[in-house]
């Protein structure tokens, strides 16, 4: 094992974790100073010298990168999602991959519920109206939305975040349905088939990882199966949804709305069709973005990285296939 490890962090991170990493006696840390994320060429150029990489979800870590990273001992991602990492290539090279589950569960569930409420009650439209000086007077039919209490929520995925959203929904008096590929059951959540969930839910919220199997899960057929007037909420990954089919379903009036924190292409281009589609509420991928949670994620990412450098078990190591 080398005396000192060469580590690159592709971003400054909130909190004090990178200071802790920099002060580790066996670490030489370099931090990309930006602006933004490093370009792909920079990532590749650095690969051969690194013992450890601390990356974010916008860095594409593919098979050629692992081939080039001949000295690498560990990859630590500042994210729970790992769809930006070729996990099979990591496994083939024997590289442990760390990620940050657990610490962002409640915060992400908060945002999913905030989007659900904002979409159902048309808050972004109301805000725009008031700011534009277009609020004439109280009107009997101004910005009529949809009740959340008493409605049915369908959770696609019942991992930690899905379960945390279920708890919030129960507090709002919602009926909660849940579907998982594994058939897992959760107390207080009615197990449903994927199709039955789409048929019955007034709000469908996505909480599965983006993998080869889940990409495009919410396609035109799934959207057509959703209850007329239903809402789609996505705080997981944009690639789960066929966005053009979603815009079609909204334009056709089949769905009442979609509240989205994540998109197939991020940042969402300003001229993207979804931004011109009625009923769409958007946020810029901020599900885990609170001061405390982003600091906890940084701490866990650094703990994973240090463990991997020192050939210790990672506190949160991704399974090889994700």
Residues with a catalytic annotation lie at: 237, 266, 285
CB 85 within 8 A of CB 75: yes
In this complex, which beta carbon is closest to ligand DGY, that of residue 57 or of residue 192? 57
CB 304 within 8 A of CB 99: yes
Please work out the total of residues on this chain that contact ligand DGY, with binding judged by CB under 6 A: 8
Question: What track of x and - describes contact with ligand DGY for positions 269 through 288 (by CB under 6 A)?
Answer: ------------------xx
In this complex, which beta carbon is closest to ligand DGY, that of residue 80 or of residue 148? 80
Answer yes or no whether residue 97 interacts with ligand DGY by CB under 6 A: no
Answer yes or no whether residue 98 interacts with ligand DGY by CB under 6 A: no
Largest CA distance in the chain: 72
Between the CA of residue 30 and those of 2, 27, 49, 170, what are the distances in Å? Answer: 17, 10, 12, 46
- Structure token digits, residue 318: 């991704």
In this complex, which beta carbon is closest to ligand DGY, that of residue 69 or of residue 82? 82
Answer yes or no whether residue 205 interacts with ligand DGY by CB under 6 A: no
- Structure token digits, residue 6: 């060469």
Shortest CA distance to 76 belongs to which of 128, 29, 120? Answer: 29
Smallest distance, Å, CB 293 to ligand DGY?
Answer: 8
- The correct pick among 14, 81, 119, 157 for binding ligand DGY (CB under 6 A) is 81
Answer yes or no whether residue 80 interacts with ligand DGY by CB under 6 A: yes
Question: What track of x and - describes contact with ligand DGY for positions 32 through 71 (by CB under 6 A)?
Answer: -------------------------x--------------
- Expressed in angstroms, the distance from the first to the final Cα of the chain is 27
Smallest distance, Å, CB 83 to ligand DGY?
Answer: 8
Stretch that binds ligand DGY, among 14-22, 74-82, 129-137, 303-311 (CB under 6 A): 74-82
d(CA 304, CA 160): 20
CB 118 within 8 A of CB 138: no
Stretch that binds ligand DGY, among 77-85, 212-220, 272-280, 306-314 (CB under 6 A): 77-85
Answer yes or no whether residue 109 interacts with ligand DGY by CB under 6 A: no
Smallest distance, Å, CB 93 to ligand DGY?
Answer: 22
How many other β-carbons are positioned within 10 Å of the β-carbon of residue 148?
A: 20
Answer yes or no whether residue 79 interacts with ligand DGY by CB under 6 A: yes
Per-residue exposure over 79-108, b if at least 16 CB sit within 10 Å of its own CB, e if not = bbbbbbbbbebbbeeebbbbbbbebbbbbb
In this complex, which beta carbon is closest to ligand DGY, that of residue 90 or of residue 177? 90
Smallest distance, Å, CB 298 to ligand DGY?
Answer: 11
Answer yes or no whether residue 104 interacts with ligand DGY by CB under 6 A: yes
Between the CA of residue 245 and those of 55, 164, 250, 280, what are the distances in Å? Answer: 32, 28, 9, 13
Near ligand DGY in 223-252, by CB under 6 A: none
In this complex, which beta carbon is closest to ligand DGY, that of residue 24 or of residue 289? 289
Per DSSP, helices labelled H in the chain are 17-22, 40-46, 63-68, 87-92, 105-120, 123-131, 160-171, 194-200, 220-225, 243-251, 291-309
CB 301 within 8 A of CB 54: yes
**Binding residues for ligand DGY, per CB under 6 A?**
57, 79-81, 100, 104, 287-288
């Amino acid at each position: 094992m080398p005396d000192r490890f060469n580590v690159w962090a592709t971003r400054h991170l909130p909190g004090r974790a990178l200071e802790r990493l920099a002060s580790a006696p066996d670490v030489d840390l370099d931090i990309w100073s930006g602006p933004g994320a490093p370009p792909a060429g920079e990532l590749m150029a650095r690969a051969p010298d690194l013992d450890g990489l601390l990356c974010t979800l916008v860095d594409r870590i593919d098979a050629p990168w692992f081939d080039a990273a001949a000295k690498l001992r560990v990859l630590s991602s500042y994210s729970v999602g790992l769809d930006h990492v070729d996990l099979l290539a990591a496994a083939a090279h024997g590289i442990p991959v760390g990620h940050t589950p657990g610490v962002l569960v409640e915060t992400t569930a908060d945002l999913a519920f905030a989007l659900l409420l904002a979409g159902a009650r048309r808050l972004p439209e109301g805000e725009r109206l008031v700011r534009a000086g277009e609020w004439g007077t109280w009107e009997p039919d101004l910005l009529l939305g949809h009740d959340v209490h008493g409605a049915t929520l369908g959770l696609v995925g019942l991992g930690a975040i899905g379960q945390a959203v279920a708890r919030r929904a129960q507090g709002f008096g919602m009926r909660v349905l849940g579907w998982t590929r594994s058939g897992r059951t959760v107390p207080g959540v009615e197990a449903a088939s994927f199709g039955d969930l789409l048929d019955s839910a007034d709000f469908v919220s996505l909480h599965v990882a983006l993998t080869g199997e889940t990409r495009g899960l919410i396609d035109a057929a799934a959207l057509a199966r959703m209850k007329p007037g239903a809402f789609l909420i996505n705080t997981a990954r944009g690639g789960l949804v066929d966005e053009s089919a979603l815009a079609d379903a909204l334009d056709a009036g089949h769905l009442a709305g979609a509240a989205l924190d994540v998109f197939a292409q991020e940042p969402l281009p300003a001229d993207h069709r979804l931004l011109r589609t009625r009923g769409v509420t958007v946020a810029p991928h901020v599900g885990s973005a609170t001061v405390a949670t982003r600091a906890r994620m940084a701490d866990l990412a650094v703990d994973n990285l240090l463990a991997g450098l020192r050939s210790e078990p990672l506190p949160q190591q991704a399974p090889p296939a994700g």
